[in-house]
Structure 1
């Protein structure tokens, strides 16, 4: 039986800022764009969260909820460096680590590298090391599969530790609100509620065929997970499915030429990220958010792989034309994503369209 730990740092970016700058401690702190900008909240300290501020909220909205909040710009290079220190701590206990982001990861501790005796003891030791060495706190969930461990890590934040053993999993899943299920967003949750499905127990009353009919292939996942079945392994060399760069503008852009200039800047930044990670992809996706918050995406798959900014801007501009013709209104956000990556050992493909 597997022993899985999910570690989730507590308000990571804000916690790093409060650690490095004592004047930020104990006050509502928001990491993100200026309060009068169109930027969004990257994260907020727990003092700020008491006012209802949360990640991905517009900074202007956060400023209205808490006029006394202090806003600071993200320092991503610092966060990456701290994240590397956290993963170095993880490696003392296991070599099977699957990072999900800078501030969370799955650890398979089935093999007890330090002979501590239990996954709970390992989680306690990791939390202690992070606290003593980095002056930060983390919450941990411990279980026999990834899904339950991830849910458990969120139960007792901040600085929590929750263990859900095999005998408790089905009861736990039955009581879990559907909003907490992996892959259930606001739209799916609303649909479930309209169908009188509010908890795992409600989902459990449906057959697999009924769930598939209602929710497509995700229905199979819901059928298994509500019974505590999650066979996914911790993947230490997890490859990204896509890499993206986007920008929200301080003022809406109405001219196509200006949009294309912004796409060129975004493509340059995205190409740098791809090249630094030695990734080349075939599918280029354009993301456009209009002034009325309408969100449109369009994709084009090439016959070869690329990491070149020339290809990224050429394809994204081609995709942009029909979109702005169909929706003639100013744009507040543009983004480009690359996916469908080349296999690491493949020698085929070209660097660019040209």
Structure 2
């Protein structure tokens, strides 16, 4: 990474710019629906009053509504609340436009999630006056060229860790600077919960080590931090807090893929929940083939609400091993076997969440096959695998569910295509 020359060093050592889009999903909905601008609004992931908001506009915050607030409770807190249904494909498209706009001003170094990214500053960009001007150009460019409702906050700091920390200190429309020559004084007032990667469990571990505030965290040694975290991540956070960067964590190939769905009230029957589970597994199969992977374990997870006096589980998590495959029909057969195991416990109305997954992933052909059994894929020649690939091609060309496996009546449009914290759906996720 380039270092600023002595002539450019102003003591602040601003090497990173981190940007976060404020209340992103809610802001996109207000941008797309002008009549919703300036009004309290939440976005929910499914048509259910019992799910939690995945975004809350700033106009809803005075009512006490936050991300995660249950929809039914949010309506009570704000009778005029607008409740929008999540549209992942729209959010991904706006995300791409925002990243392109940022890239016009400074190269995007890494996309952290759908609403945030980091950019490395080089040369004269590291001088504070220039870094601030760059940040303001980015904020103004997003509003002008992507949408006036898409406000953002930016952090400038010597390390990516501190830049992300700074970014969250002033919202919306914030610009916060943490300078190297003012550390640690400028951050000593921050609680440990402010810092990325320090959740409630880690704060408990830090407290057990005698660290309860930023001063204590700053005074730790790098080796001590590594011991408390029981991993190199502790040393990375310690270095970041001191304005130092570490080598990026190597990207690991996925060990599993999964899809899940919160069930709307009308979908909370065993028959309809099974249809949702099967549709999610179809998406898993399509992703496996697109990624050139096979899986050797299938999982099913169900939430069934509070357990009363009658028999039943709060949750069910089951797995079964399969011969390595990327064939949708083989995956569905394994899912059906899991479903039959848990089916006796079902009670209509209690099912609230369905999740499926495929685990122990390896590239196609990487599994060692039995001499006398080539597995369900038969080395890529199985008729059902060929059929699965043909369905992929038809749905890619003519649109999602042009041809489906089993009835799809009543299933949500965006089933399984949610935006996870660290994963932005590919365009293919919306037709698979």
Normalised by the length of structure 2, the TM-score is 0.66
Worse overlay, 246-255 or 136-145 = 246-255
Q: Give deviations 1:196-218, integer Å, cap 9, x for gaps.
A: 64322233455566555654325
Using the TM superposition, give the Cα deviation of residue 274 of structure 1 relative to its aligned residue in structure 2, in angstroms. 5.0
Contact 2:281–2:332 (CA under 8 A) maintained in structure 1: yes
1:310 matches 2:310: no
Using the TM superposition, give the Cα deviation of residue 8 of structure 1 relative to its aligned residue in structure 2, in angstroms. 0.8
- With over 3 angstroms needed to count, the CA separation of the structure-2 counterparts of 1:207 and 1:5, relative to structure 1, is closer
Residues of 1 paired with 2:100 and 2:51: CA distance?
A: 32
Q: Give deviations 1:252-299, integer Å, cap 9, x for gaps.
A: 8575x76544321111233345555x3535465543333139566566
Residues of 1 paired with 2:218 and 2:67: CA distance?
A: 31
- With over 3 angstroms needed to count, the CA separation of the structure-2 counterparts of 1:239 and 1:90, relative to structure 1, is farther
Q: Of residues 4, 15, 40 in structure 2, which corresponds to 1:28? A: 40
Contact 2:330–2:376 (CA under 8 A) maintained in structure 1: yes
Using the TM superposition, give the Cα deviation of residue 6 of structure 1 relative to its aligned residue in structure 2, in angstroms. 1.3
Specify the alignment match of 1:139 in structure 2.
153
- What is the correspondence of 1:89-168 to structure 2 with a 5 Å cutoff? 89-110=101-122, 118-134=130-146, 135=148, 136-168=150-182
Specify the alignment match of 1:15 in structure 2.
27
Specify the alignment match of 2:245 in structure 1.
230
Residues of 2 paired with 1:206 and 1:108: CA distance?
A: 27
Contact 2:298–2:321 (CA under 8 A) maintained in structure 1: yes
- What is the correspondence of 1:140-289 to structure 2 with a 5 Å cutoff? 140-190=154-204, 192=206, 197-206=211-220, 211=225, 214-217=228-231, 218-233=233-248, 243-251=257-265, 255=270, 259-273=273-287, 275=289, 278=291, 280=293, 282=295, 284-289=298-303
Instruction: Please tell me whether Structure 1 or Structure 2 has the larger radius of gyration of its CA atoms.
Output: 2
Contact 1:93–1:112 (CA under 8 A) maintained in structure 2: no
Using the TM superposition, give the Cα deviation of residue 157 of structure 1 relative to its aligned residue in structure 2, in angstroms. 0.7
- Across the aligned residues of Structure 1 and Structure 2, the Cα RMSD in angstroms comes to 4.0
- With over 3 angstroms needed to count, the CA separation of the structure-2 counterparts of 1:118 and 1:74, relative to structure 1, is same
Residues of 2 paired with 1:106 and 1:64: CA distance?
A: 38
Residues of 2 paired with 1:254 and 1:269: CA distance?
A: 21
- With over 3 angstroms needed to count, the CA separation of the structure-2 counterparts of 1:254 and 1:184, relative to structure 1, is farther
Gaps of 5+ in 1: none
Residues of 1 paired with 2:64 and 2:192: CA distance?
A: 22
Residues of 2 paired with 1:121 and 1:305: CA distance?
A: 53
Specify the alignment match of 1:333 in structure 2.
353
Contact 1:174–1:226 (CA under 8 A) maintained in structure 2: no
Contact 1:311–1:352 (CA under 8 A) maintained in structure 2: no
- Secondary structure, aligned partner of 2:216: helix
Using the TM superposition, give the Cα deviation of residue 127 of structure 1 relative to its aligned residue in structure 2, in angstroms. 1.0
Worse overlay, 288-297 or 82-91 = 288-297
Q: Give deviations 1:18-43, integer Å, cap 9, x for gaps.
A: 12222111110111157852333121
- With over 3 angstroms needed to count, the CA separation of the structure-2 counterparts of 1:205 and 1:46, relative to structure 1, is same
- Secondary structure, aligned partner of 2:264: strand
Aligned length: 346
